[in-house]
Amino acid sequence: MGPKHRLGLTCPPKAFVGRFLIWLVTVGLLLGSTLRLQADYFSWRNRMEFEVENIRVLKGKDPSNSVKYDIFMYIGCTVSPFAAVLWHFNQAVKVCDADNLDSSCNIKMNKNYNYDFLGHKAKDWLLSSDFNTLLDRSDVVVKLDDDTIISKTILDNLVSEFAAADCKYAGNMRKTQAGFYWSNGPLFMVKTDYLRSKLKDNSGVLSYYNKAEDVQMGALLDITNSDLICNVDLDTFRHRYYEDKRLSIRYKPYITC
């Protein structure tokens, strides 16, 4: 016997109803998972994004002495062939993935790192003998994103001002609910004696972070006293984009390989 009719409407076969219910449940589960991931992401960002107020701001205008410093930056699998026009790209120690064949790479890691696991790359670099060599020759280490734009004079002055200050860690500072301070990625500076002591005593925390390699540095340094941090005046550098009457520089967003 065919499908029953009531009020001119045909009831769908049971098999169709079953498939539809399975589809509906699957969509609901996927949607719920997506919403949970978004909620976790925003919850994580909220935990990391407390603004920091009433701390010293470095403006890089009054250098007091010459300071030995090194720049490092993390490079993935691609490099623009014209990045070398920027002075800090040439001067920086560029920490590259294993498959990056660019001749500008100073350090080649033993493997490749997905963008979502940059914390693993940071851990391997910070615990390497190459990074220890960098600490031995410098008073300050500066981490720059490869798409940060800053003049040499300004960075020289910022480092000099930082070296003369009481703070141990400087950048665009934030505070976590856990209580420690961290700087987001375009630019931060750490005094090497303080960083070396923390790598000796606190390196276990480097295992806890994946994508959040800049939060990872804050967790490693474990600074909860605001007297030991300084903010960097954001007007001293640009991230991804800079323009004046004669010059315009624009980086595209990060490319995953």
pLDDT in tens, the chain (257 residues): 555 444 444 555 656 656 766 666 665 655 554 444 444 434 444 455 555 666 878 877 665 567 899 999 998 777 788 888 889 999 999 999 998 888 889 999 999 988 788 899 999 999 999 999 999 999 999 999 989 999 999 999 999 999 999 999 999 999 998 899 999 889 999 999 999 999 999 999 998 877 789 999 999 999 999 999 999 998 899 988 899 999 998 988 766 66
Are 245 and 182 in contact by the 8 Å Cβ rule? The answer is: no
pLDDT for the residue 28: 61
Residue 6: Cβ-neighbour burial (10 angstroms; 0-12, 13-18, 19+): exposed
For residue 193, give Cα distances in angstroms to 141, 156, 182, 237.
10, 19, 18, 26
pLDDT for the residue 61: 66
CATH number of 51-250: 3.90.550
pLDDT in tens, 120-160: 999 999 999 999 999 999 999 999 998 999 999 999 999 99
pLDDT for the residue 39: 41
Are 131 and 143 in contact by the 8 Å Cβ rule? The answer is: no
Among 149, 197, 171, 219, which residue's Cα sits nearest to residue 58? 171
Q: What is the pTM of this model?
A: 0.77
pLDDT in tens, 70-81: 999 998 777 788
pLDDT for the residue 74: 93
State the distance between the two ends of the chain, measured CA to CA, in whole angstroms: 59
Q: Which two tokens stand for residue 104?
A: 């500008």
- Residues 242 and 153: their CA atoms lie apart, in Å, by 16
- Residues 161 and 192: their CA atoms lie apart, in Å, by 15
Residue spans per domain, the chain:
13-48, 51-250
